[in-house]
Amino acid sequence: MFIVLEGIDGTGKSTQTRMLAEWLREQGREVVTSREPTDGPWGKKLRESASTGRLSPEDELEYFLKDRRQHVDELIRPSLDAGKVVILDRYYFSTMAYQGARGFDPAEIRRRNEEFAPVPDHLLILDLDVDSAIERIGGRGDTTNEFEKRDALQKCRDIFLSLTDEPFVHVIDTHGDLDEVQQQIQEAISGTV
């Protein structure tokens, strides 16, 4: 099973990914968790750009595609082929949202990714209004980086919410506490675990 958690910054993706992985392991499943951008060479360049200044839109998109292709080849596909549950904190839907906010066509980004990247069984969009997300980013001791500006986050949220016409997409309201959010996630994937 392949599960992806998406949403704008501050929605709790990393925490919910960890909680979901623990729950699935308690069910006896072998779970692999990962994130994008990865810690590989292309992912590191992308992570650095969040604090040192964003790359050109074209370079940024190209780095995401290269990072994802390596991730699919080296971790995602082999883990799925071995029968493991793969849970990702961000995937190509984030590229659609964040690069879409920079002017690229989200549908074209999706098409390019789906030429090589498997579609998840479950896409969990963790949703939160932008003001609350920015407040959470500040509350964790961070300052907003180049990917977390208010107008850009709103455009990203709008793109994420435009994906809800797919049967594998579940929108999870993250205004509640961590356990309430995790309960929604578990309910969304129940029956497939």
- The answer to whether the annotation marks 14 as part of a ligand binding site is yes
Q: Is 37 exposed, middle or buried (0-12, 13-18, 19+ CB in 10 A)?
A: buried
- The answer to whether the annotation marks 9 as part of a ligand binding site is yes
- The answer to whether the annotation marks 8 as part of a ligand binding site is yes
CB atoms inside a 10 Å sphere around CB 183? 13
- The answer to whether the annotation marks 53 as part of a ligand binding site is no
Residues whose CB falls within 8 Å of the CB of residue 67, separated by 6 or more in sequence, listed in order:
36, 37, 38, 40, 42, 43, 46
CB 8 within 8 A of CB 133: yes
- The answer to whether the annotation marks 38 as part of a ligand binding site is no
The H-or-E segment that residue 4 falls in is strand 2-6
**CA gap 145, 135 in Å, rounded:** 13
Binding site feature residues for ATP? 7-14
Residue positions forming the annotated binding site: 7-14
